[in-house]
Amino acid sequence: PSITRGVTVEIPKVTWEDIGGLKDLKKKLQQAVEWPIKHSAAFSRLGISPVRGILLHGPPGCSKTTLAKAAAHASQASFFSLSGAELYSMYVGEGEALLRNTFQRARLAAPSIIFFDEADVVAAKRGGSSSSNITVGERLLSTLLTEMDGLLEAKGILVLAATNRPQAIDAALMRPGRFDLVLYVPPPDLEARYEILRVHTRNMKIDTVVNLRRIAEDTELFTGAELEGLCREAGIVALRENISASVLSKTFQWLTSVRQDEHSGANPIYA
């Protein structure tokens, strides 16, 4: 991927199969992202106006970023990734310039997806304060609104944004033609946890008696990121102990119980 400060561009390699669970959500994203890009002529012919912006919200570590990347991969779209927090931290005017520049580059590289992580930072509700000082956040938001409105005529460009705090997003972004689609990305249920464990162990050598269904049952409050971490750690333990050529069931059990303890008392994800 090419990296300029604050923005990464690539066609991601992640596929829909790399994401466990979330079947309906994947289908919605296929329709909203993949179809307009792959069948743009049909969309024009039928007079269907494609979705311009999609907001993904939900607890951290539950695949918002990965879904956006998989959508870009499936559409073979250039993926411009920006971090809200990083934009916010830039010098006066620099963040807005980067935003404008990214939209410009995305137009030239179309089909493109512009992805904002921590979108609530760049798209925060305006304070409505009487102060005449325009804040950094307000300037970024107004640039983002202008750029998104400018996309109405453009083809093959879509904005995806992710946030853990959807309530903090300014209502102006929710108008038609901006974020038309708001999708909740939930923490994984039992079946999804099983699938996530399968995804992250598929290239590992694991003992034949390892029961992933059982592990899925024992990891109720785990996020996708935590399940991925569990698999990685189990692999490292096997490597370190060098006791066998594969990852053992007892290693998974031990790690699950350690992580379980860390969870108890922790805030059960996302209010």
Q: Which residues bind ligand ATP (CB under 6 A)?
A: 19-22, 60-66, 117, 162, 164, 188, 196, 199, 224-225, 228
Q: Shortest approach of ligand ATP to residue 103 CB, angstroms?
A: 22
Give me the least distance between CB of 183 and ligand ATP, in Å please.
12
Q: How far is the CB of 173 from ligand ATP (least distance, A)?
A: 18
Least distance in angstroms from the C-beta of 21 to ligand ATP: 5
CB of 229 to ligand ATP, least distance (A): 8
Instruction: Between 158 and 162, name the residue whose CB sits nearer to ligand ATP.
Output: 162
For every residue of the chain, DSSP letters joined together read -EEETTEEEE-----GGGS-S-HHHHHHHIIIIIHHHHTHHHHHHHTPPPP-EEEEE-STTSSHHHHHHHHHHHHT-EEEEEEHHHHHTSPTTHHHHHHHHHHHHHHHT-SEEEEEETHHHHSBPP---S--PPPHHHHHHHHHHHHHHHGGG-SSEEEEEEES-GGGB-GGGGSTTSEEEEEE-PPP-HHHHHHHHHHHHTTS-B-TT--HHHHHHT-TT--HHHHHHHHHHHHHHHHHH--SSSB-HHHHHHHHHHHHHHHTTS--S--
CB of 157 to ligand ATP, least distance (A): 21
- Token readout for 209 is 């008696």
Query: Residue 50 or residue 70: which is nearer to ligand ATP going by CB?
Result: 70
CB of 64 to ligand ATP, least distance (A): 4
Cβ proximity to ligand ATP, 38 vs 198, nearer residue: 198
Nearer to ligand ATP, 95 or 188 (CB): 188
Torsion angle of C-alpha atoms 77, 56, 97, 144, degrees rounded to 10: 110
The C-alpha atoms of residue 151 and residue 122 are separated, in whole angstroms, by: 18
Nearest distance, CB of residue 154 and ligand ATP, angstroms: 26
Question: Looking at beta carbons only, is 164 or 246 nearer to ligand ATP?
Answer: 164
Q: Which is nearer to ligand ATP, 50 or 68 (CB)?
A: 68
Which residue number places its CB atom closest to ligand ATP?
224
Q: Which residue has the tokens 């998974």?
A: 252
Among residues 50 and 55, whose Cβ is nearest to ligand ATP? 55
Q: Are 123 and 161 in contact (CB under 8 A)?
A: yes
CB-wise, 50 or 179, nearer to ligand ATP? 179
Contact 183, 27 (CB under 8 A): no
